[in-house]
A and B are shown apart, each in its own frame.
Chain A
Amino acid sequence: MSKRMGFPFAAVVGQEDVKQALLIMLANPKAGGVLVAGEKGTAKSSLVRALTNMVPDKKMIDLPLNATEDMIFGNIDLEYAITRGKKVFQPGLIARAHGQMLYVDEINLLRREVLTSILDTADRGVNVVEREGISYRHEARFTLIGTMNPEEGILTASVLDRFGLFASVSRETDPAARTEILRRVLAYEKDPEAFVQAYENETKELTNRLQAAQELLGTIEVSIAMIELAAQYAVKAHAAGHRAELFLIEAAKAVAALAGRNYLLPADMERAAFFVLPHRRRQEETPPPATEEQQEQPPVEQSEQDDHEDQPKPPPQPPQNAPPPDSQGQDESDPDDAKDKNEDLPRQQNDYADQERIADIDKGFSNAKLAVSLPQDRHVRQGSGKRSLTRTDRKQGRYVRSCLPNGKLTDLAFDATLRAAAPYQRLRAKGNCCITIRQEDLRQKVREKRIGNTFLFVVDASGSMGARERMRAVKGAIFSMLQDAYQKRDQVGLIAFRRQTAEVLLPVTRSVDLAQKCLQHLPTGGKTPLAEGLHTAFSVLQSMQKKEKEMQPILVLVTDGRANRSIAGNGDAIADALKAAGEIGMAGVHSVVIDTETDFIKLGVARSVAREMGSSYYCLQELSKQKILHIVKNLP
């Protein structure tokens, strides 16, 4: 492949922050890797790829999203093993990146397991391979550069923390600059070689500046006062751990060196803080009420919760400095409660029962997330996503063990195949190779990876739900769960029940967008046919399971439990609902119930329904505080 004539770094208009962050990294690799975040089409990857022209002694190793673990970290050399009969380590991409730069475009789309392993290696500077019958370690020091579009998914706090520097990009809003961008892109496309040549001087200047900075760097002394300043910055940002200070000092040194100075100024530290701190900033921790659920949270979930506060550029979520979710939740529920106390129940139902109204979505609702902790089974599933671990046959994911192939071999487990063939080598005739492998020796890899889940939302849209702002909050809660579902690539479906029937508004689809649209236009009004809603949900789930046996869909029921329409039309509505719930529970469907009942006199039907279904149970107010819904295995 010929070296592409890349767009020159110096020719990129604007984006000064990203440019400086990258220059700091080149001048002083100790300042850590760089994470660049921003909307699509803002020259993120063009800037990163342009770096190679400035540092001719370093290469840019691309890590494609489709790379398999064995190729990244190294593997047994298949060719060598077969022809020479010896086990030799074949270095992976990480080994090639040693002393170079490793670039991951769309780093937030990289599989979680792979990303953690890469970051671990970067941290230790050593790649340790213990897999497929080989044990090997080699040095692996590299500068990690990642670019991402935060809309497509976010990184956890622990991942963010590993990057020394962070820079965000945004589109240019100055017409003159935009015109200049167009002019340069056109010129470049017309004749790349001439364009690159035109910027040769500027590129050379940058290279020289970098070299000078690298030389200066060793002569810069860091005074105690400067270290104290760094510590102050870190404390002010509530940065966790002590990585921040170290990165701050190294980055400040690079800033000074790039400016041609061999001493540090407070302004250097301020500039360094601009790049080092934004992704480490944490909110001041208010002592959380130590409820049982919170203590039970596994560490992974904890960090997922964190990353909402830490996420550097959260487009759909409330910004960092939004009021803490606790107080927000109170705002929504307290006035409701207060008003409810002053009104008697029958009047309220008359008021809202037959009016049809459409509540908008409360987008300020805190980010409710769904934590699914179902036990892993032996079913093989396809598809993609970022939620639950499953066995897979798509050659992705971690190699857990080998097995005899069932039909045609698709994913060769080489180590196991060799082991199977080894005992018979003396008896077999040899061809060109040292090892003769026969059909019966072949072994297949068994792999595990993450896929999305399927959530079926069953929403009570009766008149009682339309009362005041309740539906708005409900829609807000579902909307935030949908956002989580979008980022984890789940499938969703939506059923609403009101008046006489339950209606499948959206059959299960991968398009979370559609679910959001249905939700937006969902009106409330009429009676509450809870039993009907559950029946419809159950039949949808059953037909889904007929199609895909391995699917473990999760039912999310949102209701105030005030069932007042039975299946026959004149029976006991609540009894019918409990019976339907019992059937779902018996079938072993995983479910969660969100109770929206806030009236003074609580009937607690939703709680009984939850018990019958064997679901996890949450109140709506609780949800706005807690943010994570744990869905655990339903034991029928």
Chain B
Amino acid sequence: MRTGVYPFTAIVGQDDMKLALILNVINPGLGGVLIKGEKGTAKSTAVRALADLLPAMEAVKECQFRCDPQDRHHMCEACLQKSNAAETILTQAVKMKVVELPVSATEDRVVGTLDIEHAIKCGEKKFEPGILAQANRNILYVDEINLLDDHVVDVLLDAAAMGVNTVEREGVSYSHPARFVLVGTMNPEEGDIRPQLLDRFGLSVTVTGERQSEQRVEVIKRRLAYEQDSDMFAGDFQKEQEELGNMIMQARRLLPQVTIDDELLTLVANMSIKLEVDGHRADITVIKAALALAAFDGRDKVAADDIKKAARLALPHRMRRRPFEDGVLNWDAVETMFQE
């Protein structure tokens, strides 16, 4: 067991953020989380802790994209060939990782590029995978996403939407799977991000430092205990960690069976019409999040309350529809719809 990772369950408060992250690992197709908030609110700790919480997943051995041997639809070229040829595919267990995309990253580092050394010395083109390749089946963490270079944002959007990274540069023409849970953080005081990118994020949460002094004291106490002896600290939370890990894995298995009534679908559709959100991603995300919520709760049917919770996570960032517009979610309007 690696030491050093702060246990997820030991994080005090920040329930919205924790829930949004959990929902995204239950259904990685949810579209990621945008975390808005000030510095020092356990954002990156939570993301790392979450990856650590999950049991290892099965992946094709020596595949640089860690393809899922069971999922033929999202395999890389090499793995698919093996699978088609009915070769026995060796697998290995890998932990989900957090891949970081630094704000200073250049486009070629993100999408991948030609290995020049290799090309010149051996007369052979070799693709050097970038950050998006590493991110496949992992969490892609972008700190201060609002400061990211525009070109990088564009390629990130492209890959996130398609689940595929297509590279056409420097004599390399290549595509590989890039399905990842996108977690972005930003401080709204430093400027917002383009509505187009906002809409691609499935969920958003706003984090603030704990306001109550008992809570704040608890945060510090735990931090100190962790720094003193991280192993012992982890031991204290081991039971809770295992429980949560199991709950997530159970929810994943349950998710395909969860159903939703037509009335609730109509409710969501009406909600989007009333709030005048752009496009249809909002409705779809609310429903998907509600399904994941029901699964997390161990139910195989979505309740109205799930929709409400999901709306709180999926709608706020979609209210800012145009550049130069302030988006405010009219929560009262949502509440009244549930009462009707």
B255 to chain A, nearest CB (A): 10
A90 in contact with B171 (CB, 8 Å): yes
Instruction: Please provide the chain A residues from 54 to 71 with a CB less than 8 Å away from any CB of chain B in the complex.
Output: 62-68, 70-71
A72 in contact with B191 (CB, 8 Å): no
1/0 per residue, CB under 8 A from B, across A305-337: the answer is 000000000011000000000000000000000
Q: Which one, A78, A182, A192, A514, contacts B269 given CB within 8 A?
A: A182
1/0 per residue, CB under 8 A from A, across B190-212: the answer is 11101110010000000000000
B162 to chain A, nearest CB (A): 8
A1 in contact with B123 (CB, 8 Å): no
A395 in contact with B170 (CB, 8 Å): yes
1/0 per residue, CB under 8 A from B, across A172-183: the answer is 110110110111
B164 in contact with A66 (CB, 8 Å): no
1/0 per residue, CB under 8 A from A, across B80-119: the answer is 1000000000000000000000000011100101001001
B147 to chain A, nearest CB (A): 7
With an 8 A cutoff between CB atoms, is B268 at the interface?
yes
A513 to chain B, nearest CB (A): 5
**Which of B38-46, B53-61, B230-238, B280-288 touches A?**
B280-288
- Across-interface contacts of A511 in B (CB, < 8 A): 146, 190-192
- Across-interface contacts of B122 in A (CB, < 8 A): 432-433
Known contacts A66-B151, A190-B256; is-contact A41 B280 (Cβ 8 Å): yes
A412 in contact with B116 (CB, 8 Å): yes
Q: Closest B-chain residue to A41, C-beta based? A: B279
With an 8 A cutoff between CB atoms, is B75 at the interface?
yes
1/0 per residue, CB under 8 A from A, across B167-187: the answer is 111111101110000000000
1/0 per residue, CB under 8 A from B, across A368-391: the answer is 000000000000001111000000
The CA-CA distance from A109 to B223 in the complex, in Å, is: 45
Q: Which one, A71, A395, A514, contacts B191 given CB within 8 A?
A: A514
- Across-interface contacts of B167 in A (CB, < 8 A): 64, 66
The CA-CA distance from A384 to B169 in the complex, in Å, is: 18
Instruction: Please provide the chain B residues from 117 to 145 with a CB less than 8 Å away from any CB of chain A in the complex.
Output: 119-120, 122-125
A65 in contact with B155 (CB, 8 Å): yes
With an 8 A cutoff between CB atoms, is A152 at the interface?
yes
Count chain A CB atoms within 10 A of each CB in B161, B268, B280, B284 and give the residue with the most: B280
The CA-CA distance from A252 to B72 in the complex, in Å, is: 43
With an 8 A cutoff between CB atoms, is B334 at the interface?
no
The CA-CA distance from A595 to B194 in the complex, in Å, is: 32
B107 in contact with A2 (CB, 8 Å): no
With an 8 A cutoff between CB atoms, is B278 at the interface?
yes
Known contacts A79-B123, A151-B323, A183-B265; is-contact A67 B29 (Cβ 8 Å): no
With an 8 A cutoff between CB atoms, is B260 at the interface?
yes
Q: Which one, A71, A78, A83, A172, contacts B168 given CB within 8 A?
A: A71
The CA-CA distance from A93 to B158 in the complex, in Å, is: 18
With an 8 A cutoff between CB atoms, is A115 at the interface?
no
A41 in contact with B146 (CB, 8 Å): no
B107 in contact with A79 (CB, 8 Å): no
Known contacts A186-B287, A513-B324; is-contact A175 B270 (Cβ 8 Å): yes
A386 to chain B, nearest CB (A): 9
Q: Closest A-chain residue to B168, C-beta based? A: A67
A67 in contact with B123 (CB, 8 Å): no
A1 in contact with B323 (CB, 8 Å): no
- Across-interface contacts of A316 in B (CB, < 8 A): 322-324
The CA-CA distance from A248 to B105 in the complex, in Å, is: 47
A75 in contact with B80 (CB, 8 Å): no
A2 in contact with B280 (CB, 8 Å): no
- Across-interface contacts of A395 in B (CB, < 8 A): 106-108, 113, 169-170
Known contacts A1-B177, A66-B155, A182-B265; is-contact A433 B123 (Cβ 8 Å): yes
B280 in contact with A42 (CB, 8 Å): yes
1/0 per residue, CB under 8 A from A, across B56-68: the answer is 0000000000000
- Across-interface contacts of A229 in B (CB, < 8 A): none
Instruction: Please provide the chain B residues from 275 to 312 with a CB less than 8 Å away from any CB of chain A in the complex.
Output: 277-284, 287-288
**Which of A20-28, A198-206, A482-490 touches B?**
A482-490
A18 to chain B, nearest CB (A): 14
The CA-CA distance from A39 to B167 in the complex, in Å, is: 26
With an 8 A cutoff between CB atoms, is A106 at the interface?
yes
With an 8 A cutoff between CB atoms, is A207 at the interface?
no
Known contacts A4-B73, A79-B124; is-contact A513 B323 (Cβ 8 Å): yes
A71 in contact with B169 (CB, 8 Å): yes
- Across-interface contacts of B151 in A (CB, < 8 A): 65-66, 384, 394, 396
With an 8 A cutoff between CB atoms, is A509 at the interface?
yes
Count chain A CB atoms within 10 A of each CB in B154, B287, B326 and give the residue with the most: B154
A75 in contact with B150 (CB, 8 Å): no
A489 in contact with B280 (CB, 8 Å): no
B169 to chain A, nearest CB (A): 4
Known contacts A75-B171, A432-B123; is-contact A486 B324 (Cβ 8 Å): yes
- Across-interface contacts of B21 in A (CB, < 8 A): none
B107 in contact with A66 (CB, 8 Å): yes
With an 8 A cutoff between CB atoms, is A524 at the interface?
no
Count chain B CB atoms within 10 A of each CB in A67, A78, A385 and give the residue with the most: A78
The CA-CA distance from A132 to B288 in the complex, in Å, is: 50
- Across-interface contacts of A90 in B (CB, < 8 A): 171
Known contacts A106-B154, A181-B283, A513-B324; is-contact A62 B191 (Cβ 8 Å): no
With an 8 A cutoff between CB atoms, is B250 at the interface?
no
Q: Closest B-chain residue to A434, C-beta based? A: B123
B149 in contact with A384 (CB, 8 Å): yes
The CA-CA distance from A173 to B277 in the complex, in Å, is: 10
The CA-CA distance from A82 to B266 in the complex, in Å, is: 63
- Across-interface contacts of B191 in A (CB, < 8 A): 509-511, 513-514
With an 8 A cutoff between CB atoms, is B214 at the interface?
no
The CA-CA distance from A327 to B132 in the complex, in Å, is: 52
A179 in contact with B107 (CB, 8 Å): no
B13 to chain A, nearest CB (A): 29
B260 in contact with A151 (CB, 8 Å): no
Instruction: Please provide the chain A residues from 498 to 516 with a CB less than 8 Å away from any CB of chain B in the complex.
Output: 509-514, 516
- Across-interface contacts of A183 in B (CB, < 8 A): 262, 265
The CA-CA distance from A77 to B106 in the complex, in Å, is: 25
B155 in contact with A2 (CB, 8 Å): no
Known contacts A433-B123, A510-B191; is-contact A2 B168 (Cβ 8 Å): no
With an 8 A cutoff between CB atoms, is A171 at the interface?
yes
Q: Closest A-chain residue to B171, C-beta based? A: A78
- Across-interface contacts of A240 in B (CB, < 8 A): none
A1 in contact with B175 (CB, 8 Å): yes
The CA-CA distance from A512 to B321 in the complex, in Å, is: 15
With an 8 A cutoff between CB atoms, is A40 at the interface?
yes
With an 8 A cutoff between CB atoms, is B328 at the interface?
no
With an 8 A cutoff between CB atoms, is B242 at the interface?
no
The CA-CA distance from A2 to B164 in the complex, in Å, is: 11
- Across-interface contacts of A43 in B (CB, < 8 A): 280
The CA-CA distance from A395 to B169 in the complex, in Å, is: 9
B268 to chain A, nearest CB (A): 7
B164 to chain A, nearest CB (A): 7
- Across-interface contacts of B75 in A (CB, < 8 A): 1-2
1/0 per residue, CB under 8 A from B, across A269-286: the answer is 000000000000000000
Count chain B CB atoms within 10 A of each CB in A40, A437, A509 and give the residue with the most: A40
The CA-CA distance from A66 to B88 in the complex, in Å, is: 36
With an 8 A cutoff between CB atoms, is B14 at the interface?
no
1/0 per residue, CB under 8 A from A, across B243-275: the answer is 000000000000010001010011011101100
6 contacts between A and B (CB under 8 A): A1-B175, A41-B280, A106-B154, A106-B158, A185-B284, A412-B170
Give the interface of B toward A (CB within 8 A).
29, 72-77, 80, 106-108, 111, 113, 116, 119-120, 122-125, 146-147, 149-151, 154-155, 157-158, 161, 163-164, 166-173, 175-177, 190-192, 194-196, 199, 256, 260, 262, 265-266, 268-270, 272-273, 277-284, 287-288, 321-324, 326
**Supplied contacts A395-B170, A511-B146, 11 more A-B pairs, CB within 8 Å:** A1-B176, A4-B73, A5-B73, A65-B158, A70-B171, A175-B266, A178-B280, A181-B280, A182-B287, A396-B151, A483-B323
- Of all A-B residue pairs in the complex, the 3 with the closest CB atoms, nearest first, are A511-B191, A41-B279, A178-B269
